Amino acid sequence: MYVSEQEVRAVLTYDLLIPAIRLALIDYSAGRVNQPPRMILRAGNADDHRNGWFAVMPVVAGDVMAVKTVTYYPCNDALSIPTHMAVIELLRRATGEPLAVMDGRLITEMRTAAVSAVAFSALAPLHFQSAPSSFGILGSGVQAHAHIQAIRTVWPELREIRIASRNPANAAKLASEAGARAVSIEEAASAEVVLTATSSPTPVLFGRCMSQRALVLAVGAPGATLRELDDQAMSQSYVVAESRACVARESGDVLLSGAKVQAEIGEILADAASAAVPRDCPIIFKSVGMAIEDLTAARLVWQARANGSHKS
């Protein structure tokens, strides 16, 4: 069974995906997921920032197994094609039978935003004395758009969205579509909740611009030598990782700043009552993306297809 992006879009929703990702992150932190490090090969198509990469991401969890092959080419923006493209193969764990092969671009987009929505839902009640209302976004691309959709699903008190981008026209366009405001980086960075979702190799969010009680969802800077947050932002914050092991290998924000990861989000999700999440300093949730999230989304798509949910 091959499932196209159009077919994925027809059945995968944040209402289904967010609670499934929540359970997957709990399982990951509890050791119930077999997920080796992803293997990344540089494409060698350029000698500068345009150099793309190709990654292979296998995982075994529950009754299925999956492998995602994904590419990232930052120069694709200029060609009007996606910077990330992927294919996911889903297999039955008991027999090894292939269940489906599906386009993984939209799955990658949605599961990244769903992870942030899960982290927000877990961390915001522990960190803020009252529900936050302002959301600042640094970036105006695919992930900025996806996060607005996902975060709105879990944040009914959201009243104000501020969007900043190195491309003012893109920021203005997204702001118009989302009922938001296009603002300066400083104004976006001063919101109660801040998303960094850029392809910048150098910091775009500076500690001096952040609220002292900010919650930062950091999803960009895909690589050990890339950064979205400066040393001050990292050192003054309580850092929560999607995965300690993945962040230790792949996050330049953590590696280059020397920041210490204080907790893993799955641990907090499993036992919020004992989580020592502070209220007197910024919180940074750092994610780099994991195969268990792709498996979780792909399994939802396969189940919907198998149950005939795609037929309306």
**Region label for 257, one of left (φ > 0), alpha (ψ between -120 and 50) or beta (otherwise):** alpha
Query: Do the Cβ atoms of 75 and 50 come closer than 8 Å?
Result: yes
Query: Do the Cβ atoms of 123 and 107 come closer than 8 Å?
Result: no
Query: Is the same domain home to 65 and 121?
Result: no
Query: Is the same domain home to 285 and 296?
Result: no
Q: Are strands 283-286 and 238-241 parallel, antiparallel or unpaired?
A: parallel
Query: Is the same domain home to 134 and 264?
Result: yes
Query: Is the same domain home to 88 and 192?
Result: no
Q: How confident is the model at residue 310 (pLDDT cuts 50, 70, 90)?
A: low
Q: What CATH number does residue 212 fall under?
A: 3.40.50.720
Of these ranges, 39-43, 258-262, 308-312, the one predicted with the greatest mean pLDDT is 258-262
Answer yes or no: pTM beyond 0.75.
yes
Which range of residues forms the domain containing residue 212? 112-289
pLDDT of residue 309: 57
Question: What pLDDT, in 10s, does the model give residues 198-240?
Answer: 988 899 999 999 999 999 999 998 788 889 999 999 999 999 9
Q: What CATH number does residue 301 fall under?
A: 3.30.1780.10
In the sheet that holds 98-103, the strands lie side by side as 2-3, 98-103, 84-92, 64-72, 53-61, 39-42
Position 49 pLDDT exceeds 80 = no
51 within domain boundaries? yes
Quick one: CA torsion of 205, 223, 102, 139, rounded to 10 degrees?
Answer: 20
312 within domain boundaries? no
